[in-house]
Amino acid sequence: MLKSLIHVCLILLLSLFLLGNIYFWTDKSGTKHFTNVSPPVNESVEEQKESRTVYKKLSSKKSKNQLFKVVKVFDGDTIKVKGLDLIFKIRLVGIDSPEIGFKGRKDQPFCREAKQYLSLLLDHKKVAIKSYGVDAYNRQLAEVFADGKNINLEIVTAGLAEVYKGRWPKNLSSQIYLKKEAMARQDGKGMWAQGNFYKSPRQWRKENPRK
């Protein structure tokens, strides 16, 4: 009886979490936190409403030809878009661009060039989106298309992002991304011009954690 009651309570709690707004933040030690109740007032908190609902809308047949307006470019691999009565963040799936310094901290080389190039590609453009789910920060993981081009691949081709080294969505192939990265590296484009001094964004984040 007790086990059944606990099971029911857990289901109810999970349902509340999935249906409500999700707030997330990183504390001074770099630990990530998530909550669907009132967030702490002394933390820099971001909110993503109904991230599962966003993904559901993006995956529907009605949104197949939907175009979205880019309202902000954060860096070389993260943007904010507007469409379908939604405003949400997108993490360009499959790529990892140089890190912009957090709160005045040191920039990774070529991070500003990556952001500028992405802004140029998306300037005054409406984009199509192919979503592959949601990441740990409740951003949509997606390929972004403009003027018939895969923008994710364009950033890699320009040598301003490497192929993402973490887990990939099962239905997204890395082969074309790896091919474009190899070509950019061979030609010394963008960040690859650093040669042996190059550090991956993942390594940079380890050496320069957000505190």
Tell me the average pLDDT across 13-36: 46
In percent, how much of the chain has pLDDT > 70? 73
Per-residue exposure over 76-101, b if at least 16 CB sit within 10 Å of its own CB, e if not: bbbbbbebbeeebbbbbbbbbbbbbe
Reported as a pLDDT band with limits 50, 70 and 90, residue 99 is: very high
Residue carrying the six token digits 């307006």: 69
The pLDDT score that the predictor gives to residue 20 is 41
Global model pTM greater than 0.85: no
Tell me the pLDDT of the chain averaged across its residues.
81
Residues annotated as catalytic (active site), given as ranges: 91, 99, 139
Interatomic CA distance for residues 82 and 68, integer angstroms: 5
Instruction: Let me know if domain 50-196 sits in CATH 3.50.50.60.
Output: no
* pLDDT score of 16 more than 80: no
pLDDT in tens, 40-95: 555 555 544 456 677 777 777 666 678 999 999 999 999 999 998 889 999 999 99
The pLDDT score that the predictor gives to residue 46 is 53
Residue 67 corresponds to which tokens in the numbers above? Answer: 């175009």
Based on the number of CB atoms within 10 Å of its own CB, is 65 exposed (0-12), middle (13-18) or buried (19 or more)? exposed
Any idea where the domains of the chain sit in the sequence? 1-48, 50-196
Reported as a pLDDT band with limits 50, 70 and 90, residue 199 is: very high
Long-range own/partner contacts, residues 2-5 (CB < 8 A, 24 or more apart): none
Q: Do residues 175 and 144 lie in contact, with contact meaning Cβ atoms separated by under 8 Å? A: no
Tell me the average pLDDT across 91-118: 94
The pLDDT score that the predictor gives to residue 52 is 67
Residue 168 corresponds to which tokens in the numbers above? Answer: 């990939």
The pLDDT score that the predictor gives to residue 204 is 93
Interatomic CA distance for residues 101 and 115, integer angstroms: 13
